[in-house]
């Protein structure tokens, strides 16, 4: 009888991994972690308020005017730079712009370095619970701009985009005209401004002005908000944290 070699009862695969495989895997994890952590810090640094603590416009000599097509202009006559801001009251990135650079811009306005012109759009109406929040907020903004000082308007505008006030896109609720009127009062506005907002006196013209602002936005070569134009050229207002300082 021929002797047969004993065969193992089970197949035992040999390990295919090596120390280098584990090292490479560990390095890959470290790289991914570094990218994630770096992204978090970059996003945080990008959205940190500039000139934090300054607040809104304080100089009583700053002038405010409602120009053609509802553009709100805020600045001293001596200002040498013009900044055009296109925004929608429902736009979260517009809120990021205001919360990051609003105080810095107010400081520049007070110093007479810039005039800021606000172009308010309402194309995000459909994302509001009421279906017309953006238009009503634009109307409220124009009521305040027409009756109040630049100091009051600046406070109103800043709070309009504050995280604890701006309604969420596709949220279950937004703000009524009474809420917007109360915001005007809280900003130092008069009963006349509040009544203008409550009655919706500027609603029709706000819709027309918002449509004109959208056409003006398209003429700049942009289609979204926020868009910031300085002396005719679009600037990367969300990507370049130094754009106001560079003015």
Per-residue tens of pLDDT for the chain, all 247 residues: 444 444 444 334 444 445 555 565 556 565 454 433 433 333 444 579 999 999 999 999 999 999 999 999 999 999 999 999 999 999 999 999 999 999 999 999 999 999 999 999 999 999 999 999 999 999 999 999 999 999 999 999 999 999 999 999 999 999 999 999 999 999 999 999 999 999 999 999 999 999 999 999 999 999 999 999 998 899 999 999 999 999 8
User: What pLDDT does 42 receive?
Assistant: 37
- pLDDT at position 203 is 96
What pLDDT is attached to residue 18?
54
Classify 229 as helix, strand or coil: strand
Per-residue confidence (pLDDT) for residue 30, from 0 to 100: 54
Structure tokens at 185: 């009062």
> How far apart (Å, rounded) are the C-alpha atoms in residues 160 and 176?
13
CB 139 within 8 A of CB 185: no
3-state secondary structure 105-168: HHHHHHCCCEEEEEEECCCCHHHCCCCCHHHHHHHHHHHHHHHCCHHHHHHHHHHHCCCCCCCC
CA distance 111 to 80: 11
> pTM of the predicted model, to two decimals?
0.82
Find, among 223, 70, 81, the residue nearest to 137 by Cα: 70
Q: Residue 25: its pLDDT value, please?
A: 57
Give 50-235's CATH code, choosing from 1.10.1740.10, 3.40.50.2300, 3.55.40.20, 3.40.30.10.
3.40.30.10
Q: How far apart are CA 138 and CA 19, in angstroms?
A: 64
Cβ atoms of residues 215 and 76 within 8 Å:
no
Taking the C-alpha atoms of residue 223 and residue 121, their distance in angstroms, rounded to an integer, is 11
Phi, psi of 117 (to 5 degrees): -115, 120
């Amino acid at each position: 009888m021929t002797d047969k070699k004993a065969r193992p009862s089970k197949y035992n695969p040999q390990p295919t991994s090596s120390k280098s495989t584990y090292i490479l895997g560990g390095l890959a994890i470290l790289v991914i972690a570094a990218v994630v952590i770096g992204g978090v810090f970059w996003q945080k640094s990008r959205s940190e308020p500039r000139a934090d603590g300054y607040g809104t416009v304080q100089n009583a000599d700053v002038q405010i005017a409602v120009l053609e097509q509802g553009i709100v202009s805020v600045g001293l006559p001596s200002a040498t730079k013009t900044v055009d801001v296109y925004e929608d009251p429902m736009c979260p990135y517009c809120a990021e712009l205001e919360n990051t650079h609003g105080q810095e811009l107010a400081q520049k306005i007070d110093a007479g370095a810039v005039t800021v012109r606000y172009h308010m759009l309402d194309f995000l109406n459909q994302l509001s619970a009421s279906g017309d929040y953006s238009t009503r907020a634009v109307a409220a903004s124009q009521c305040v701009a027409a009756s109040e000082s630049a100091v009051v308007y600046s406070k109103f505008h800043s709070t309009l985009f504050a995280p604890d006030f701006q309604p969420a896109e596709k949220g279950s609720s937004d703000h009524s005209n009474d809420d917007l009127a109360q915001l005007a009062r809280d900003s130092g506005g008069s009963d006349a401004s509040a009544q203008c907002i409550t009655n919706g006196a500027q609603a029709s013209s706000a819709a027309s002005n918002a449509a004109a602002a959208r056409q003006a936005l398209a003429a700049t070569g942009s289609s979204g908000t926020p868009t910031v134009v300085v002396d005719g050229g679009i600037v990367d207002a969300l990507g370049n944290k130094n754009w106001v300082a560079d003015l």
